[in-house]
Amino acid sequence: MGGVTLKQNFNKMADYKCEVCGDVVEKTGVTIRYIAGKGAIHDVQCEECGEYMELANPKSGVPSFRSNRYGQTY
């Protein structure tokens, strides 16, 4: 794979946590939507209380992309 390092759990679903009731769920294929008064958020609602959930383990930093001489990234 030419120097690419994959993490052990690269196919793991994202965990979302409700700030109101503390419920944690795993979801995949989530849509990011603009909700009035909240901004751009993940469209995951808590089944218990109906509030929008936040990422339990948000990532920070900048992704690193390598490109070839034609500007293609990999």
Name the band, by pLDDT with cuts 50, 70 and 90, for residue 1. Answer: very low
Whether residue 71 is contained in a domain is answered as no
Whether residue 2 is contained in a domain is answered as no
Whether residue 18 is contained in a domain is answered as yes
pLDDT, tens only, 8-51: 455 567 899 999 998 999 988 888 888 888 888 888 899 889 88
Whether residue 63 is contained in a domain is answered as no
* Token representation of residue 33: 């939507």
Structural domain count of the chain? 1
Nearest to 41 by CA among 26, 29, 52: 52
DSSP symbol at 38: T
Whether residue 34 is contained in a domain is answered as yes
For residues 20 and 12, the answer to whether their CB atoms sit within 8 Å is no
* Other beta carbons less than 10 A from residue 41's beta carbon: 16
Amino acid (1-letter code) at residue 15: D
